[in-house]
Amino acid sequence: MADFFTGMRISGSGMAAQRMRMNTISSNIANINTTQSPEGGPYRRKDVVFEAMPDVKNFGDIVSATSPKSEFQRVQVTDIISDRKAPILKYEPDHPDANAEGYVAYPNINLMEEMTNMIQASRSYEANVSAMQATKDMALSSLEIGR
């Protein structure tokens, strides 16, 4: 049986995951023209990996869980991966990062795709905020019944 706190934890995990996704997308947009990164070469687009995890409160719940698929799930960011697509080469012989042939390697980042991902993450965040608000309203309503 679920309680109000379970709903809050699940919504909170979704909000945290979408916040991480928004930060990653923002980093991609900010580095759309970065030709040199600390790893060498142009910036590599990043993406987050989500995973559904059993909603547990403590280590004892983890150990005693027999069927995690039947339990409530929360979302967790498990990894941030770098895109392995080849960089975009543009002919700019006067650029300081140009190679011997005059081409500069730019990150393979599509601004429209990133903006679409940002809208999607923002709406997912808002949906989790709405779910959390609904849970809070139900908890307050149940307290009013007890009066």
Per-residue pLDDT of 37-78, as tens digits, reads: 988 889 999 999 999 888 766 666 656 655 545 467 888 899
Per-residue pLDDT, averaged over 134-144, amounts to: 87
Report whether pLDDT(141) > 90.
Answer: no
What are 114-132's pLDDT values in tens digits? 999 999 999 999 999 999 9
pTM confidence score: 0.81
Q: Is residue 95 part of a domain?
A: no
Q: Is residue 38 part of a domain?
A: no
Q: Is residue 11 part of a domain?
A: yes
Distance CA(58)–CA(71), nearest Å, equals: 14
Report whether pLDDT(93) > 50.
Answer: yes
Residue 63: predicted pLDDT: 60
Q: Is residue 60 part of a domain?
A: yes
Residue 53: predicted pLDDT: 84
Query: Can you name the residues that pair with 79 across neighbouring β-strands?
Result: 49
Q: Is residue 96 part of a domain?
A: no
Q: Is residue 98 part of a domain?
A: no
Q: State how many domains the chain has.
A: 1
101 Cβ partners below 8 Å, 6+ apart? none
* CB-CB neighbours of 102 under 10 Å: 13
With cut-offs at 50, 70 and 90, classify the pLDDT of residue 1: very low
Report whether pLDDT(147) > 50.
Answer: yes
Contact 55, 6 (CB under 8 A): yes
- Structural domain range at position 53: 4-32+46-82+109-145
Q: Is residue 37 part of a domain?
A: no
Percentage of the chain with pLDDT > 70?
87
Q: Is residue 89 part of a domain?
A: no
Residue 30: predicted pLDDT: 96
Half-sphere exposure of 31 (CA within 13 A, CB side): 21
